[in-house]
Structure formats: C-alpha cells, structure tokens
Structure 1
Amino acid sequence: MIYRLFIIFILSTILSCQSDNSIELDTPEESLYFPPINTNNWENIPPTQLNWDLNKLVELKNFLIEENTKSFMVLVNGKIVVEEYYNGHTANDTWQWNSAGKTLVTATTGIAEQNGLIDINNKVSDYIGTGWTSATLEQENLITVKNLLTMTSGLDEVPQLVIKNNLVPLADAGTRWAYGNVFQRLMNVVEDASGTEFESYYNTELGNKIGMVGFWNNGFFYRIYHSNTRSMARFGLLASQNGNWDGEQIINQDFFLDSKTTSQSINPAYGYLWWLNGKSSYMLPSTQTEFTGNLIPNAPADLVAALGKDEQRIYIVPSKNLVIIRMGEATESEDNFALSSFDNVFWEKFNEVIN
C-alpha cells in the first residue's frame, strides 16, 4: 500500500512539473509574412487583435480623407492591418511616388554594385563619361556615385531640370549637402554600366522579384515611378527587412543598412536617399539651415522614411515591425518637397491609435 502511494506521488510530481513547464514556455513571436508574388492574396490582421483604439483609428482615417489622401495602408509583421482607398481611388489605380521613388533608385544602384557592374566609390564619369556637368574636369572628377546617393555632389540643386547647363558647381563634392534632382544621373550610371534601360534592369533585378507592378514615366530629364498601393507596400516590406524577401537577399544587406544610416557628416538625417529620424539635427530641401532635434518629433526614433512631394510616404519602424503607406494629392500642410507638417500631425494621431 505504501509502495503504491509512493508511485502515485512520483507520477503526480512528474505530471505537475510537465504542466508547469508548458506554462512557462515563451509564446513564439509571430513570424514575418511575405505576400505571394503571383497572386493578389495578402493575409490580414484585424486591428482589434493588436488592441488598437478603433475610435482613434476612425479619427485618423477622417484626418487622412480631409488631407486629400488616396490610399492608406498599414502592415504589421508583413500582414495588412489597414487598407483604405479614398476620394475615388481604388486598389488597382496607380499613383506617382514622386521623390519617395528615390529609394527605388538607391536599391537598384545597390543591386548593380553587388552584380559587379559599378563601385559607388568610383567617380560618376567612369560610367557616363566626362562633360556631364558644367564643372571643370577637376571638379567633376570629385563627384562619385556615392555623392549622388547622399546629395553631396556640390552641384546647384535649384534647377529641377537635370541638364548639363543646370549642373553648375557651388562647392566641391562632399563638402555641401543639398537636396536636388541630380540623383537622376544614378539611372544613367546603371544604364551605361549594365547596357540595359534602367526600367528594364529595375524590373528584372528588383520589381518582378517581389511582385511589384508599376512603371517609370518616359521623361528623359526626370523619371518618376508610378504603382498601385500594394506595390509600394511590397517595397516598404523589403526595405524593412534590409533587402531580404522571404529568405532571398535581393539587395546586399550591408548596402541596405548603409542606405538607412547617416551617410555623411553634414545632414545626420539623410542616408542613401532615405530620411532618418532620431538624429541630433537635420536639414531640409531648399535651405542650408541646420535644424536641431528629430526630423519628425512625434514619430519613433528609429523611423526610416521615403518622403515624396505631395506627401507620398513610406514609413518604416523596425522596432514595431511596422510599414505605413500614404499616397495622395497635396495636403493642406506647407510642403517642402519632402518633409511637411503633415508628418508630425499624422504621427500624433497614429500614436493615439496604437498606444
């Protein structure tokens, strides 16, 4: 009898331990999701599952509608939490990225480098020939591919038309940060190095690989990317994972990390055509003034953003596995080609939704 009770006690203890262990196991984090390439299927997460404030979400949506927004999309861990279309826009409609598309040029340049076609530390004239600016040969030879990626070419940023007569030096390359359209010469670098039209190279090496559907307009002097909202979100998801798409490293990770890191000592809030929050100071287009503090005070410090005219936006917050897309017409905010007051107001309202 005593022996039988002893056995029961031992078995009960073992089962109790097993039960306790099962309780103590950490709940695995939700794995990152990537939407399929060849279908329009995309998994969703309801906002209630994330404990978002639905009343504040309605307020945010009303704000976006009032601010001439055409589409708004939020991804968490790659899954859609919010996908809204306003003011007659639909999921199938395309819209221009404006300067948010600079980041596509960055990514394509990085791919060309990893494919051995270019070296971003080489001078631009190695690829497109000399005489592409109105600078002296000595000044022109100072301008590297990296200077175009970082907006430090030293060339006059005021003329929007990128032609030789407008590419006048105001300072030596690397000594002045100024936001302008000369970055477009990166497309010529990729074209001449690859022997392929930029759009074709981009589609083959990047867009098609992650299921993007879009086009570059055919302007010779200035090319702008157009796509639907989900394509913009796909690129945002790729960027949030430093160039990795569902296990495939589309773009060299080190290059992408460099892209989203301060790229020069003049404007801490700028990487390779990406804007960076959480820095001690920042500069803006059309001015040489240095402003103290965060680029977007209400946004998370680790925010990385593609900012385009008329508030075309890709916001990426790595600490929250968050990607946010906004497409639309110009808001009521005062626009500065990139940043505007819209950004800080948006983040004030979005924080109320998720906190």
Structure 2
Amino acid sequence: MKLFKIISLIVIVILIIVVYLQYPRLNIIAGYAAKNMSSNVFISNRKVAVINATDNNVPSIKLAKTEVDVKTKLTTSSVFGLLSRKALFRKGQGSVVIDNDFDIHQNFLIPKRTANTSNLAYPYGTGAPSDSVFTNINYSNLTAAIENGFVENNKEFQKKTRSILVLYKGHLIAEKYAKGFDKDSKFLGWSMAKSLLATIMGVLEHEKGFDIQKPVIESLRLKDWKNDNRSKITTHHLLKMISGLEWEEDYAKISDVTKMLFMERDMTQSQVNKELEFEPGTHFNYSSGTTNLISGILRSQFKTQQEYLDFPYTELIDKIGMNSMLFETDMEGNYVGSSYAWATARDWAKLGLLYLNKGNWNGTQLFNESWAEYTTTPTKQSKNEYGAQFWTNTDGFIPDAPKDMFYADGYHGQRIFIIPSKELVIVRTGLTHKNRTGSYDIMNSLIREVVGSIK
C-alpha cells in the first residue's frame, strides 16, 4: 500500500510538471481550433463535423474539443478540460480569438462595402465567364494538368488540393474543385494576405502619396525606437522583410508567430517590441509580425478606425469586384495582414490579374506601375527569393516555372502564381501539410503542365 501511494504521488507530480510545461502550448492549440472553426463556419459556411474531420483533424489541434453557438457567434475549444479558448465572429470583421477581458457585447464597426454588380463577364463583372477558345491551347493537356493537381500519388503526404483555377489573357480557361467545394467557396489565404496588404499599401502610395522610404517612427509614435537604430527602419524595410528585428516564424511550436496569432490583443505591436538583431536593410527574416506592423502603419494614416476599415474595400477590394473577400481583424480592430483574408478562388485570381496588368483594372489605374515592379523585384538579402510581400522565381526556386513568375504564398499550399511572359494567373488552394520546399514538388508539376499546354 505504501509503495502504491509513492508511485501514485510520483505519477501526479509528473502530470503536474507535464501540464505546467505544456500549458502555453495548450493555449495555442485551443486558440487555433476555436479560430479555425469559427472562421470556417461563419465565413465559409462549412459544417462543424466536416471541419473536425478535416481542417482541425491534424496533429495537436485534433486534441481540442470544439463547440459552436450559432446564436451568440461564440466558438469554444478546450483541451482535456484543462484550458479553453473562445473565438467570436463579428459581422464585417470576421472571427477573432478573444481573452477574458474582451467585451463581446460592444458595438463593432462594419467596413463600408459596395459590391460590384456589373453584368460584364468574369473577371471584370459578375456575369458568367465568356466562352473563349484559344487556338494555341491544347485543352486536353490543360485538363490533364488540372486533374493531376488533385491526384494523390505520394505515399509521404497528400496534396489535399481544394481548388485550381487558371486565367489566360484575362479569360477563365480552367477551373476545378474538390468534393465539398465550388466556385462560391471561400478559402483562407493565410500569408496570401501579406500580398493583399502590400497591394493596399500600393494603393495608399498612389492615392495619398505615402512614402515607404520614410522611417516608421514618422507614422507611429514609438518612443523606444527613437533611442537606437530601430529609428532607421522604414516601411520599405518592412515590406522587404529586412528590418533586422528579432522574430521567430515557426508554426510547429510556441513561437513569436503562434503567440501573436492566438494570444495577442493588438497584433500590430508584436514586432514593435522586438530588439534589433541586424542593421536595418542588411538581413532577410520572414516575419508575420512585420506585416502586421505595416497594418498598424496603414491605420495611422487615417483619423478614425472607420476610415481605416473602409479603405481596403472601397479603394481596392470592391473596385476589382472581390465581393466574397473578408479581411479579418484582431481584438483591437487591426487588419491581420499576415494571415487572415478569405475569398473564393475566382476572387483571389482577380488580385493576380491586377498585378498581371500592372495595377490597371479594366482601364482604371489602382496603383502605380512602378509599384508592381517594386513588389516583384527580388531582395538580394533573401537570396533573390522574396520581393515585397510577394515571392519571386528569379533564380528558379521553382525550376520548371518561368523565371519572371512571382506569387502570393500561404500556409498549407495557398498560392496565386502570376506569370507575365505567359499572360497567366494560376490559383491553387488546399490543405497540404508539408514544408514550403516539399510542397513545391506539387506546384512545380502544376505550373510546368499548365504552361506546357499553351504554345
């Protein structure tokens, strides 16, 4: 009996230690599960059971038990009953993981929207895509290329492709969806939101003369930055991810990015509070915190939050008819430019087409042509892989793709590929659980086959 008590005590102590050490991780697991469920249910109109069986059925996250209250728009996730997190859906601002101090009954501002109701054919209107036939396209090969993008032929991991769409010379020439998805399904872009935010900054430059070369401290009151070399950091440095600020971008553990996305009230401040590791402009470090700091700079350009919330929609998103788009905010009402924008594959393709046309949308210039060149010019410190919130293929990282290709790149294999030399935009969404390099085996094949079908 005495031995049993000793063993039981040891087991209890071990459990206490494990829970203590893993508690912060449980916080992030529950936060992710709640946020992901909330957005999928209330934005993408998907079923709870389906999300539990797919999106949340991944290592660690599947440990959470999640419940949705449709009436209150509250989603609650708990892990082993030890810790629970809540996410709230707000009309116009999307879902957000909340803390215990968050007032769910407050009045939330709603961004001003003006839907594009033009009867022009897609992509410039809401009409059906025009039935265009190009003699230089081998449609059998194109169809095979799209079909291959959905075929599961790798034992190590599954593609889990959800949509593939191809625009050629502004015409929809191919489109396919996995079971359960269609042209009206909204997909989370993850880091494709970075490219969206960069575009908004380009519009800000075009319309209001915003200067990306000015120090950040001229836009934001950052007292601590005035006393060291952080005072030299410009919006240009942030866009190019060469600010020199500390940041750890690792989604597999407790890191700067996971703490920011699932624990912070104001995500524009996560990067602000970091110290310099390198002189500004000398070192590339991919950072979602950096992008959310840019979102804070954007907000500083307006007198009111309502103006800030309206600007992306009235001056970009609605102007190009991305009617399905919802750009989510954090607890303080800041756009989460690093990660949280939802839209249909067709609407994501419109962003790519805007860049293919160097900022011109059906005759209206939304950002300067020089901005398109700036965002796609490779940053030397990134080994020529990164432009300004877009990735580039200048040095052939994707070997079978044209070197003038650039692209928006999101977690789990969300992509918008823009290929100027071929007049192509390719959108691919999915749930691919593979690191960035590994997932490019899928992307490389898709691009090679699509490009190869056009003579």
- For residue 180 of structure 2, what is the aligned residue in structure 1? 88
CA distance in 1, matches of 2:383, 2:439: 14
- For residue 40 of structure 2, what is the aligned residue in structure 1? none
Runs of 4+ in 1 over 6 A off after TM superposition: none
1:228-307 superposed matches below 5 A: 228-279=344-395, 294-307=396-409
Question: What TM-score, normalized by structure 1, do the two folds share?
Answer: 0.78
Q: After superposition, what is the alpha-carbon deviation per residue over 1:162-213, rounded to whole angstroms, capped at 9, x for unaligned?
A: 5258623211211110111112111111111123544421101101111012
- For residue 171 of structure 2, what is the aligned residue in structure 1? 79
- For residue 243 of structure 2, what is the aligned residue in structure 1? 153
Q: Structure 1 residue 201 and structure 2 residue 294: aligned? A: no
8 Å CA contact 2:214, 2:235 repeated in 1: yes
Structure 1 residues 262 and 34, CA gap change in structure 2 (3 angstroms): farther
- For residue 26 of structure 2, what is the aligned residue in structure 1? none
- For residue 17 of structure 1, what is the aligned residue in structure 2? none
- For residue 30 of structure 1, what is the aligned residue in structure 2? none
CA drift of 1:138 comes to 1.7
**Equivalent position SS for 1:70:** strand
Structure 1 residues 164 and 186, CA gap change in structure 2 (3 angstroms): closer
Instruction: Give the letter aligned to residue 43 of structure 1.
Output: S
CA distance in 1, matches of 2:297, 2:439: 28
8 Å CA contact 2:124, 2:321 repeated in 1: yes
Structure 1 residues 230 and 266, CA gap change in structure 2 (3 angstroms): closer
Q: After superposition, what is the alpha-carbon deviation per residue over 1:297-345, rounded to whole angstroms, capped at 9, x for unaligned?
A: 11011111111111111111111111111112125xx323997332223
Structure 2: runs of 5+ lacking an equivalent: 1-119, 153-158, 249-255, 261-266
Identical-pair percentage: 26
CA drift of 1:265 comes to 4.7
Structure 1 residues 297 and 231, CA gap change in structure 2 (3 angstroms): same
**Equivalent position SS for 2:342:** strand
CA drift of 1:351 comes to 4.3
Instruction: Give the letter aligned to residue 312 of structure 2.
Output: Y
CA distance in 2, matches of 1:126, 1:200: 23
**Equivalent position SS for 2:409:** strand
Which of 183, 199, 210 is the aligned partner of 2:320? 210
Q: What is the RMSD computed on CA atoms of the aligned residues?
A: 2.6
Instruction: Give the letter aligned to residue 45 of structure 1.
Output: S
- For residue 3 of structure 1, what is the aligned residue in structure 2? none
Q: After superposition, what is the alpha-carbon deviation per residue over 1:126-167, rounded to whole angstroms, capped at 9, x for unaligned?
A: 112114xx7673222111000111000111220112525862
- For residue 291 of structure 1, what is the aligned residue in structure 2? none
Instruction: Give the letter aligned to residue 115 of structure 1.
Output: E
- For residue 4 of structure 1, what is the aligned residue in structure 2? none
- For residue 324 of structure 1, what is the aligned residue in structure 2? 426
Instruction: Give the letter aligned to residue 349 of structure 1.
Output: E
Structure 1 residues 199 and 41, CA gap change in structure 2 (3 angstroms): farther
Aligned length: 304
Which of 411, 436, 439 is the aligned partner of 1:336? 436
Question: What TM-score, normalized by structure 2, do the two folds share?
Answer: 0.62
Instruction: Give the letter aligned to residue 342 of structure 1.
Output: I
Name which of structure 1's ranges 137-146 and 56-65 shifts more when overlaid on structure 2.
Answer: 56-65
Greater CA radius of gyration, 1 or 2? 1
